[in-house]
Structure 1
């Protein structure tokens, strides 16, 4: 015996799908190109070369400050610990990158960071 779909069941399903799409649409998502996203996708352990220093990425976390969301990497070069913060900035510009050491905070160009492994 074949049963007909119940109108209430169909309406409930449509409501659930509408709610799901609404949550997805309104959700916060970082949208950047793959080239810009290379610094957002680092996974410890990996090695970075910034200027003449070589760092090992030892941890990764995501944060949010009034300037926006960022990905922070704890890095160590055997002498000192530093934090690399990467702020995504959209589809046309490079990400904003800050390095925080015991000497203070300095902005660096994303292209000046070489990633190994």
Structure 2
């Protein structure tokens, strides 16, 4: 049986999750995932297996984040912006936004040119 999480407990989980980049940042050099889960489990007094189920919060964030980006792109300059009403969105966006934002754009035309030059 799964644990029922209150909003307060979920925000605490998000704070602890944020403090453990090994769990959400694939570029983190200190990628000691088990240690990170154990620290959160000790802090919340919840088994790691239950915490890992709560990690689906990433998926919920990505869904809202992608929808927000898509609607902003569709409406361009018309000021139509999707504002997620999911209670945990802002807390998650504070540290995950950069993980789901494109850092560079590669034009397919540039790829073709660079392949033919080589």
TM-score by length of 2: 0.20
Q: As a proportion of its length, which structure holds more helix? A: 2
Q: As a proportion of its length, which structure holds more strand? A: 1
TM-score by length of 1: 0.20
